Amino acid sequence: MKPNSLSPLPFLLSFLLLGVINVNAQETASLPCFQLTEPVEHHFGEVKQSATVEHTFTFRNDCTEAVEIGSVRSSCGCTSVILSDKVIPPGGEARILAKFTPPRGSRGKVSKTVSLYLKDEQKPHTVLRITADVHCDIDIQPSYITFTGATVGKRSFVQSKITNISDRDLLVETTGVSLTSYPNDRKAAGGTNLPLEGGTITPEFLRLAPNESATLSIGVTPQYVGQFNGSVGLKIGNEENVIFLFGEVAATPDQE
């Protein structure tokens, strides 16, 4: 009897061997042997707006070969990262130093991420998270204001209530209004993004005792039909804060 040259046994063995190779390849690609030695989230606790805090995350390479890191990326310019080494030998460690400075105008709980990518990988190997409770001596209500009913050439006003939530007297200084117009008819306006001049804040200084409140009045005169946005700067000692502004501008009836 002739041996069967089409015996399924060799094919079956090849299939099983290929499956083992694929499983090993998947395990190597995910590199579970390159691991963080601590929780993925670090909480800084209460942080002042003017402060910079930092934390170091440590990874250990328990693989049998060296691991190469492609990049480390933060989700915000308020967080800088420094990587100790890009190539980590077996048994070695890589450290990521994350430095966080609260973004201007942030208050309360803030959360940012830092992603570690291995070389030639499109998805992050590990996503780290840093959180902080950003402390501020004042409360601003509202801190995001929309101008309603704004029309070209007419003065519009909004108000914001400032409260001293610290245990000491405070001097709150306004540092100006910064606004940009986005006209619907960009060609007629002579450009795409144009500064909106003439924003005012009243009063320019506030002296507040603990738990005392006062109202800021913010005025603008829109020049173009379209949108505008920007902010009012506030300085409280060494801290800075901000009130964000947004407006939809319509034409007056005689302009339509």
> CA–CA distance from 85 to each of 19, 43, 88, 91, 118 (Å)?
34, 24, 7, 13, 12
Query: Average pLDDT in the 132-142 region?
Result: 92
Q: How confident is the model at residue 184 (pLDDT cuts 50, 70, 90)?
A: confident
Any domain includes 11: no
168 and 245 together in one domain: yes
Residue 13 forms part of a structural domain: no
Average pLDDT for the chain: 85
Same domain, 143 and 69: no
Cis bond before residue 210 (omega within 30° of 0): no
Domain end residue (candidates: 79, 107, 135)? 135
Q: Is 28's pLDDT higher than 50?
A: no
pLDDT of residue 107: 81
> Does residue 60 contact residue 37 with C-beta atoms inside 8 Å?
yes
Query: What distance in Å separates the CA atoms of residue 189 and residue 194, rounded to the nearest whole number?
Result: 8
**Do 68 and 125 meet the contact criterion of CB atoms below 8 Å apart?**
no
Least confident range from 41-50, 64-73, 110-119, 235-244: namely: 235-244
Angle at 40 between CA 35 and CA 42, to 5 degrees: 135
- The whole-number pLDDT of residue 58 equals 97
pLDDT score recorded for residue 18: 42
Checking if the pLDDT of 114 tops 90, the result is yes
Lowest-confidence range among 17-26, 117-126, 163-172? 17-26
Is the pTM higher than 0.75? The answer reads no
State the Cα angle at 92 between 86 and 97, rounded to 5°. 55
156 and 235 part of one domain:
yes
* Number of domains within the chain: 2
Query: For the chain, how are helix, strand and coil distributed in percent, rounded to 5?
Result: 10, 55, 35
Of 78-87, 131-140, 185-194, 198-207, least confident by mean pLDDT is 185-194
Res 252: pLDDT: 74
Handedness of CA 179, 223, 162, 202 (dihedral sign): positive
**Segments forming the whole domain that contains residue 106:** 33-135
Residues 225 and 236 in one domain: yes
CATH of the domain at 49: 2.60.40.10
Q: Residue 47: phi, psi to the nearest 5?
A: -130, 130
Mean pLDDT of 224-250: 90
Domain-embedded: residue 27: no
Domain identity same for 212 and 146: yes
